[in-house]
Structure 1
């Protein structure tokens, strides 16, 4: 069992920290909204800290899951950031979906401080976090990764080292590119089926067993057919992720015409008031103003 801290108790971080506590790890939590941290401790034990530095002091591993690059810098190298309090030989594990650039930046800062850094974005959404079955894509050196992998398994179904610092974030970008294309294809397929007068649930049941089957079809097809989107991974967050993807593509010269187009489709969903809708709401822009 390890002494750990967890920074950020949102819809992903809160359940992940809960799984750490349930596995017997000694958990200290920090959240920008202190009431949320106190409520987490009341429900799951451990203790809360007023700052990232206080949370990190004396811990073996410090985990974080926050919003974006700026949030991540704030809890690591900003005033009262965790890096200033981390001891030699400890490890910082970042579960934020952020840029590969910030991962390399923070890995360098951690190396200078004498401790390790692993960028470890996750896939599986809120349900994956709640049920402890996330997929975790990691970047870092093998020795550091080997030390934290057994602890990450507290809430992971799959966890793998993909390469040096930044490789985890790059792998997550591939994940988001693929999801965007899958959801758009599914949206168009369901929309077409409706216009053709087909029984969509019957169609999905049949084709899910063939080459068209996917996680998105199994878990989002029926709700897309019902135009229900008040759950899941928000469009606002997907657009944040796709902005990171497209910025990296400009850097490495990758051609992502479909991803760029779908990003604009998500922008349309935002203008429809769907910023907090699940990403499967791409179908909403096809269904609007149609009988």
Structure 2
């Protein structure tokens, strides 16, 4: 049990279970969500005997007494909007942790704002998807100061299997861009392999069982090949979100002069999936455009 008071802003598919793990760990947790019904739903689940939890109807009320404020919202605009509201009331010595996948620019901007207010800041995007959040097995990529990370790491460990400080502010977001670049290429490769196998008349489930034991193995193959073959995409990490993330990476690439030819191509393939009505389908739905 901890005496720390924490707030969690944003109860989407990731934030909802992440905040829940903090409550289960014994922290006093106050949650906020723009859709108040979601906050009340969270409260109905985690307001158990011995838990110190509450739901607030505003960002400022949720954050005014918090030692650590966690934020997991949608995009740069949301990060700036919600973050500014939180920082208006957060006390000196507290910490703001942003788990949103956003740009490195907004991370650096918030870092400077926090520094001027004597508040710690970490950009801390996560990987592992909804299942990782629900099972407390996320990976967290972090940018910021060592002293702040050391303070917050034990708290984040309640929903993470691994977290790592990668450098100064913005480094976490840059690392998440690398993560999404890798995933885009792997999913496209898997989609093409399954498409090839189906056209060749192979039992693709049997083939995947074999090749997943060798050099072709990946998280995507282990967790998505079977659902792709079953044409099941109504779950997981949405195409709309992936395109948002890839466009952040492509924008950063234009700034630093790197070449992301494959990433740009796969981004356009995801645009094809959106045209098919698959904006909310899982990213593994790249297979649909090949049929």
Q: Same fold (TM over 0.5)?
A: yes
Q: Which residue of 2 aligns with 1:74?
A: 81
Q: Within 2, Cα distance between the matches of 1:39 and 1:195?
A: 46
Q: Within 2, Cα distance between the matches of 1:130 and 1:123?
A: 12
Following superposition, the deviation at residue 42 of structure 1 comes to 2.0
Where 2:281 maps in the other structure, the secondary structure is coil
Following superposition, the deviation at residue 36 of structure 1 comes to 1.2
Q: Within 2, Cα distance between the matches of 1:4 and 1:175?
A: 28
Q: Within 2, Cα distance between the matches of 1:193 and 1:71?
A: 43
Q: Does 1:132 align with 2:133?
A: no
Q: Within 1, Cα distance between the matches of 2:145 and 2:207?
A: 46
Equivalenced residues, count: 284
Following superposition, the deviation at residue 272 of structure 1 comes to 0.3
Q: Within 2, Cα distance between the matches of 1:258 and 1:75?
A: 34
Q: Does 1:37 align with 2:39?
A: yes
Q: Which residue of 2 aligns with 1:55?
A: 62
Please list, as runs of the form range in 1=range in 2, the aligned pairs for 1:221-260 lying within 5 A after superposition: 221-260=225-264
Q: Does 1:163 align with 2:170?
A: no
Where 1:47 maps in the other structure, the secondary structure is strand
Q: Does 1:143 align with 2:147?
A: yes
Q: Which residue of 2 aligns with 1:12?
A: 14
Unaligned runs of 5+ in 1: none
Q: Within 2, Cα distance between the matches of 1:35 and 1:193?
A: 46
State the Cα deviation string for residues 128-178 of structure 1 (Å, max 9, x = none): 011110000000010011000000001001111011100000000000000
Following superposition, the deviation at residue 264 of structure 1 comes to 0.1
Q: Within 1, Cα distance between the matches of 2:194 and 2:167?
A: 38
Where 1:157 maps in the other structure, the secondary structure is strand
Q: Within 2, Cα distance between the matches of 1:100 and 1:54?
A: 28
The one of 175, 181, 202 equivalent to 2:179 is 175
Following superposition, the deviation at residue 51 of structure 1 comes to 1.3
Where 1:285 maps in the other structure, the secondary structure is helix
Please list, as runs of the form range in 1=range in 2, the aligned pairs for 1:65-214 lying within 5 A after superposition: 65-77=72-84, 81-214=85-218
Q: Does 1:269 align with 2:273?
A: yes
State the Cα deviation string for residues 182-236 of structure 1 (Å, max 9, x = none): 0000000000011111000000000000000000000001111111101100000
Where 1:229 maps in the other structure, the secondary structure is coil
Q: Which residue of 2 aligns with 1:22?
A: 24
Q: Which runs of 4+ in 1 moved over 2 A?
A: none
State the Cα deviation string for residues 249-281 of structure 1 (Å, max 9, x = none): 000011000000000000000000000000000
Q: Within 2, Cα distance between the matches of 1:164 and 1:55?
A: 28
13-22 vs 224-233, which moves further: 224-233
Q: Within 1, Cα distance between the matches of 2:22 and 2:136?
A: 10
Q: Normalization by structure 2: what TM-score? A: 0.97
Q: Does 1:3 align with 2:5?
A: yes
Q: CA RMSD in A?
A: 0.6
Where 1:137 maps in the other structure, the secondary structure is strand
Q: Within 1, Cα distance between the matches of 2:23 and 2:140?
A: 19
Unaligned runs of 5+ in 2: 48-52
Where 1:5 maps in the other structure, the secondary structure is strand
